[in-house]
Structure 1
Amino acid sequence: MIRTVSIWRWQLVFTGSIVAIVVMITAFKPQTFANPLVVAGIALIMVTTLGTLAVPWHRLPRTAAAAIPLLDALAVGFTTNAPDLRLGFLWVFPVVWLATYFTLPWVLGGIVFISGTLVVFADQNGTPADVLLRLLTLVITLGFLGVTVRIGAQRSRAARRLLQRRSEQVNRAAERAETNQHRVTQVVDALGVALVVVTAEGRILQMNDAYRALYGRDRFGAALPSAAVEYDARKGTAVPLEQTTLSRAARGESLQSERVWLFDGEGRWRALEVSTQPMASAREGDRITLVVIDDVTALLEAEEERRALTAVVSHELRNPLTAIIGHVDLLRERDDLPGRVPAQLEIIANAGDRMQDLVTSILDQNGGAAQEPFEPVDLREVVEASAASYAPLISGNRQELTVEGADGLVIYGDAFRLRQVLDNLLSNAVKYTPAGGRIEVSLGAAADGQAELAISDNGAGMGPDDLSRVFEPYFRTESAVRAGIGGTGLGMGIAREIVVAHEGIIDVASELGVGTRVTLRFPQRRVKEVQA
């Protein structure tokens, strides 16, 4: 069905042309309006236009719209009665309309109708041969025009239908591809192995849920405030940004089951095995890499527990075995043993020796290393390493971080545990300080000679009630919960335990709306005192 808007458009274009012609006739040859047929033709066009705008075409059959070009053709026929004007060219409008929207018989019928109006209403000056020539010229011209437009319209409709079918096929293919992609994503997210695709520029293209949970990423891929940190060993040194797993993969390094230690945002150690695999890219020359990260923490812990259990059992077996073998040797030295007793003691001694060899072998295979003592740690280096890891997040929040005070402040302790404390305190400062805020870290010696490290911010702060509960497990302020700030409420308690284990003191001072200051104090000992 021809849409109503299309009918309006065609008729209004035709009417606009007639109005322009009427204006020109009024300006240059107003006596033309003395011809009643010319006036009747113009009036018929106006009435037809008003009727076109008023008729509800969507309720009528498709062929009803053919009445409009036929009425326009009749009106043009009226205007051809003016002897000095050649308005017959306006028949192009109804012919093109019929050729565009109706079949060829309608076009030929329209041309016949136009020929009839030419014979009836047109000025018949001249010889019969001239009149016949004008008629044939009009019929041939309009017929050629109508057939050409009709063929073009048919081809246009065929091309449109073909494009529509292809568009539908493409849409169905896209829907199938999207469905398959969604299924693949679901399968990949269900895997326990962490997967991430990284470009040569270090940009993450895709990751699964296991990677997000492992490295502390949100569903958009952005790092959370409590993001995980990679280390070169358990309780070792934090890996520099350019040596992290993603950076190495982006540079094209080949990794095969390489061990990486991760300290996640929840304060747990995770042992990872990392492998890389080049992937095909959409454009030639682009390099993308698939990073496969397997969390083997449970396997290592099970192995450690097995070794510990084996060592305990072996040690517990060695003591009674030593007693048994020793007493058997004493009995074997006696001369008053009855008949078969020496032989039986020999069997017991041989079995004890074999058992002792087995226990010794187990101890050799599963001997554990003793816990390392505290070593000299420069708090300035720990602070700067922690600050460097949070620098991108601080920059993104438009915050300012300054480190002031002593260039070196050495104490004895566990560098990894101290870094854990600093990471937790800086994370809190970043989370609770608004954009544009300031975070200051100062190092120096306190009045009593202890090493002092303080972290202060001008963030939200806490009231007295919340401040008194800051070290309680799982405690979080109501304002933080309402604001949706992430956290577990365990960090400050863990930090205090670590500080206490270093014989230090942690003090928190805060004022609501002003900010928070956390002060750490550690004893500074001499090497001899530590070794003693």
Structure 2
Amino acid sequence: MALRAAVERSVFLSQLLLTGATLVLATISFIIDPSNLASPMFFAGVIGIFTVTGLAAAVPWGRIAKTWIAILPVLDILFIALIRQDQPLLGATLLFVFPVIWMSMHFGLWGAATSVVLPAVLTWGGELIRDGGTAIDPAVLPRLGVVPIVLGFVATTVYTTTRRAAAQRSLLQQQADLFDQALQSSRRQKQTLDELFDAVDFGVIGFDGSGRVNLINRAQREMVAPFGVGDGAIVPAVVYREDRTTAYEEEDRPFQKALRGQVIDRETVWFGEPGEAQVAILTSSRPVIDEHGNYDGGVIVFRDITAELKAVKARDDLVASVSHELRTPLTSIVGYTELALDEDISDSTRAMLEITSRNADRMLGIVADLLTAASESTQTLLMVFAPCDLAQIVRESIESITPVASISHITFTTPELESLVFDADAFRLRQVVDNLLSNAVKYNVPYGRIDVSLTATSEDVAELRVHDTGRGMTDSEQAHLFDRFYRADSVRNSAVHGSGLGLSISRDIVHQHGGELRLESARGKGTTAIMTVPMKEREAAGDASSESKVTP
């Protein structure tokens, strides 16, 4: 409907321009010589143009084919030719410009050509008729030649300008369509992200380079609502450190650090006042960098881990309680078994008691590991540093584990171990070496091999390597090796027993010695455990023993 109205309006306005010019020309002609209007040819030309104007206004041109509209400028050319034929000196030839512009603009190349050729034919034909139909007066030839030349330039200019404008409009329309598509896509993505952020159960805050918050999801609003934080705020005014009582200084608060573009990795803060209901929040943030490498805002994530911390504490309390309850009867079993073994008993009875003793010792070891793991958050682990020989510790550990390895026909390959003496806790290092060798035996294959090497590097660091020819581990299993209570799915349901604590405790012991413990493994190619410990002396006797907290 709108398109039809636009077409009809364009047709009428195009015709109206010629009508106005014709009216002015007729008025001037009447003023100069009133008798001109009495000429039938002049009068017919003027009335014809007015009639065409009436047709332009009355006919619904928007409902018929565009080609039919060309009748109007063609009729205009005919009526202008009548006016010029009657009054050649009046300047009516200039009126040809209006239909030329109209046809060149709206009817393409054929319209432009027609609008030039038709006036030229009519003009030359009119002169031929005026001169008796035999020949044209040579004196008027220059004037007649100018008409098609001028109209040709006008038509060419209008046609090329129209095509260029149409191409620009098409390009602009394409760009507008692309922009609209991009805008719609951006809106859909924003809506999807908003829905996604509102669906997750952790808080998300986004901000731009100037620190203005531009995103707060539903979980974040719900997280801070119980602490009197209104819609205009994003976090409580006061938050506390991990001890739950020490408030952060304003510039040290995680959100303020995130606004400065700092990276925050899993920092725990507490919402709520001490003595009241508090919530533990795990906080992480990352800055956003634009394409020029400049800081452009960031994102900070808040996750409620209160339930997780309570579950861990409840588990540790349960493990500690059960372990304490088990230790007393197990100690009694071990003691009485050893007393029974000292008696004069039959070989069969001795064999059964030895089995009982070994399993009781194993249970005591597991209980000790459980107690160590459960106590790490509340107690300290005593470390006694004194000169010790790591090579001797390794030899004793191999000697102790060899009977167990021989059951599966596993052999040890050990080059000559050179003495490495330095200050360390011999008991704790023996615990680490025992664990590494025990794992190498448990997760090896029958008739497998264990390679043990001990060297001192140029940096005065002792390096112990324990390589087995066992089943190896996947990358996903290696990612959780040092997690407490973790056991890989491949061995969880196997005959290989374990608590999932040995490596975690061993790594903590090595860390307390200033060293590192890592494992390298590939599925089907075995595992290599690498322990590095600095060989250094303690400066003062007062440092010979120290208490340090075991940290996971």
**TMscore range, shorter length:** 0.5 to 0.7
**Which of these residues, 47, 56, 59, is aligned with residue 55 of structure 1?**
59
| 1:244 matched to 2:244 | no
- 2:285 maps to amino acid: T
Question: Which position in structure 2 is the counterpart of 1:71?
Answer: 75
| Whole-angstrom distance in 1 between the partners of 2:26 and 2:252 | 83
Q: Is the 8 A contact 1:254 1:276 kept in 2?
A: yes
Question: Which position in structure 2 is the counterpart of 1:137?
Answer: 146
| 1:102 matched to 2:111 | no
Over 3 Å counting, the alpha-carbon distance change for 1:16 and 1:318 in structure 2 is: same
Question: Which position in structure 2 is the counterpart of 1:298?
Answer: 307
1:251-300, CA deviations, whole angstroms, 9 ceiling, x for partnerless residues? 12232222222349xx9633233233232225664432232444333321
Over 3 Å counting, the alpha-carbon distance change for 1:279 and 1:89 in structure 2 is: same
| Whole-angstrom distance in 2 between the partners of 1:258 and 1:226 | 15
1:121-148, CA deviations, whole angstroms, 9 ceiling, x for partnerless residues? 6795997113333322212221232233
Over 3 Å counting, the alpha-carbon distance change for 1:362 and 1:31 in structure 2 is: same
Over 3 Å counting, the alpha-carbon distance change for 1:347 and 1:143 in structure 2 is: closer
Over 3 Å counting, the alpha-carbon distance change for 1:111 and 1:366 in structure 2 is: closer
| Whole-angstrom distance in 2 between the partners of 1:260 and 1:285 | 29
Over 3 Å counting, the alpha-carbon distance change for 1:47 and 1:251 in structure 2 is: same
Q: State the secondary structure of the residue aligned to 2:73.
A: helix
1:315-368, CA deviations, whole angstroms, 9 ceiling, x for partnerless residues? 66678899x79x99xxx9xxxxx998xx99999999999989987886676468
- 2:58 maps to amino acid: A
- 2:317 maps to amino acid: A
| 1:153 matched to 2:157 | no
Q: State the secondary structure of the residue aligned to 1:256.
A: strand
| 1:92 matched to 2:101 | no
| Whole-angstrom distance in 2 between the partners of 1:65 and 1:135 | 29
Percent identity, aligned pairs only, is 29
- 1:86 maps to amino acid: G
Q: Is the 8 A contact 2:29 2:36 kept in 1?
A: yes
| Whole-angstrom distance in 2 between the partners of 1:34 and 1:240 | 103
| 1:111 matched to 2:116 | yes
**Which of these residues, 198, 217, 241, is aligned with residue 232 of structure 1?**
241
**Which of these residues, 7, 14, 28, is aligned with residue 11 of structure 2?**
7
Give the drift of 1:244.
Answer: 3.2
Q: Who wins on radius of gyration, i.e. which is larger?
A: 2
**1:318-329 to 2 correspondences below 5 Å:** none
Q: State the secondary structure of the residue aligned to 1:257.
A: strand
Worse-matched range after superposition: 283-292 or 355-364: 355-364
Over 3 Å counting, the alpha-carbon distance change for 1:224 and 1:204 in structure 2 is: closer
**Which of these residues, 44, 49, 54, is aligned with residue 45 of structure 1?**
49
Over 3 Å counting, the alpha-carbon distance change for 1:74 and 1:216 in structure 2 is: farther
Question: Which position in structure 2 is the counterpart of 1:477?
Answer: none
Q: Is the 8 A contact 1:200 1:286 kept in 2?
A: yes
**Which of these residues, 273, 276, 283, is aligned with residue 274 of structure 1?**
283
Over 3 Å counting, the alpha-carbon distance change for 1:301 and 1:213 in structure 2 is: same
| Whole-angstrom distance in 1 between the partners of 2:238 and 2:292 | 33
Q: State the secondary structure of the residue aligned to 2:87.
A: coil
User: TM-score normalized by structure 2?
Assistant: 0.51
| 1:203 matched to 2:212 | yes
Over 3 Å counting, the alpha-carbon distance change for 1:261 and 1:20 in structure 2 is: farther
| Whole-angstrom distance in 2 between the partners of 1:270 and 1:263 | 7
Over 3 Å counting, the alpha-carbon distance change for 1:69 and 1:24 in structure 2 is: same
Over 3 Å counting, the alpha-carbon distance change for 1:208 and 1:319 in structure 2 is: same
Q: Is the 8 A contact 2:258 2:298 kept in 1?
A: yes
| Whole-angstrom distance in 2 between the partners of 1:356 and 1:46 | 117
1:46-97, CA deviations, whole angstroms, 9 ceiling, x for partnerless residues? 2211211110112222211011111222232233223542121111010111
Over 3 Å counting, the alpha-carbon distance change for 1:241 and 1:77 in structure 2 is: farther
Question: Which position in structure 2 is the counterpart of 1:214?
Answer: 223
Over 3 Å counting, the alpha-carbon distance change for 1:246 and 1:235 in structure 2 is: closer
**1:401-480 to 2 correspondences below 5 Å:** none
1:401-446, CA deviations, whole angstroms, 9 ceiling, x for partnerless residues? xxxxxxxxxxxxxxxxxxxxxxxxxxxxxxxxxxxxxxxxxxxxxx
Structure 1 gaps, min length 5? 333-337, 371-532
Q: Is the 8 A contact 1:216 1:224 kept in 2?
A: no
Structure 2 gaps, min length 5? 380-552
- 2:310 maps to amino acid: E
- 1:151 maps to amino acid: T
Worse-matched range after superposition: 299-308 or 278-287: 278-287
| Whole-angstrom distance in 2 between the partners of 1:108 and 1:354 | 107
Instruction: Give aligned pairs, total.
Output: 357
